[in-house]
Amino acid sequence: MTIKKIGKWFLRIVLAIVGIIVVALLVTATVNQIALSKETKKIKDYGQKIDVYDGKMNVRIDGKGKETIVLLPGYGTPSPGIDFKPLINELKSDYQVITIEPFGYGLSSQTKRERTLENVTEEIHYVLAQLKIESFILMGHSISGIYGMNYVNTYPNEVKAFVGIDTSVPNQPWPGNPTKTIDFLRYSGVLRLFTKMRPELFEYPHLTKEENEQYRMLNLKNTGNQSMRSEGIELDNSFEKVKTMTFPKSLPLLLFIDHGNAETVPTWRDLHLKQVKNANKGASFELEGGHYLHRTQSKKIVSEMKQFLND
């Protein structure tokens, strides 16, 4: 066989493989769109919808305590109302717990407003104003460390204390948002394929079987949607804006830090301890349990928070 014939034979094989991959992706993408359409009807409503500028934001309210705690999610959380359930269950007997789902999250709508630090902060404030909440404890996970810090500096008379759950901090290592990868997973249907091939990776022990199924459907519906995508791109600017920002010294500050991140992410522990030392009343706890400590350490978080606030 001549080299020329070998080259043609090899090219045909490559083209055949590429063709198979393209057809497979077209099939998974089509199946995904059909499934999304069907699943939309199966997603159960929860919370209440509040008109906010050009869309509607979903808010879950639990408990009837005299004191209010406002929960803000980490970036890309498919359903904050479900994700925070273990923490909500620990809090609701003593507090009124308000879980805010930003645009693109949970059951909230999309928005055409830019996902700037200022706009996200303003939208949270707008929701709380509509609910007539004027004084509260702000509790945030992950990226809400940035949004929360901007909130307390913008509206200093509203927040009584900030409680962070492995929160993002100014000057932390930030590799950027993998927008193209997320786009591929969303539109190709590959993410759905993963949920079928490795369902255990998308099931959480703190949720019931029904809640896991609802969370899975919301994950497939919301991951990489227009609002989340815009927010992810804008995060570069948001981190830049808070480089020199700090929490007010007079604001009680309690931070829960994931031990795994503290050991593996450069400066993670030091940057959080720096925030605590800057506060007149500050404390931190390093816990085992992963980045989503509100799923794994909710009892410890609430116990330490109550003691901190009562001291």
Spell out the domain ranges in the chain.
48-173+225-310
41-182-100-166 Cα dihedral, nearest 10 degrees: 140
Mean pLDDT computed over every residue of the chain: 91
Query: Among residues of the chain, what percentage have pLDDT more than 90?
Result: 75
Report the predicted TM-score, pTM, of the whole model to 2 decimal places: 0.90
Which tens digit of pLDDT belongs to each residue from 172-184?
A: 988 778 778 887 7
Q: Which amino acid is at 104?
A: G
Give the pLDDT of residue 158. Answer: 98
Q: What is the pLDDT of residues 35-74, one digit of tens each?
A: 667 788 899 999 999 999 999 999 999 999 999 999 999 9
Residues 226 and 55 sit within 8 Å (Cβ to Cβ): no
- The pairs formed by 88-94 with CB atoms below 8 angstroms and a separation of 24 or more are 88/60, 88/62, 88/63, 89/298, 90/298, 90/299, 90/301, 90/302, 91/62, 91/63, 91/302, 92/62, 92/63, 92/65, 93/63, 93/65, 94/63, 94/65, 94/67, 94/306
Is residue 251 a contact partner of residue 279, using CB atoms and an 8 Å limit? yes
Asked whether residue 299 carries a pLDDT value surpassing 60, the answer given is yes
Which residues are paired to 257 by β-bridges? 286
pLDDT at residue 258 greater than cutoff 70 = yes
**Is the domain covering 48-173+225-310 a CATH 3.40.50.1820 domain?**
yes
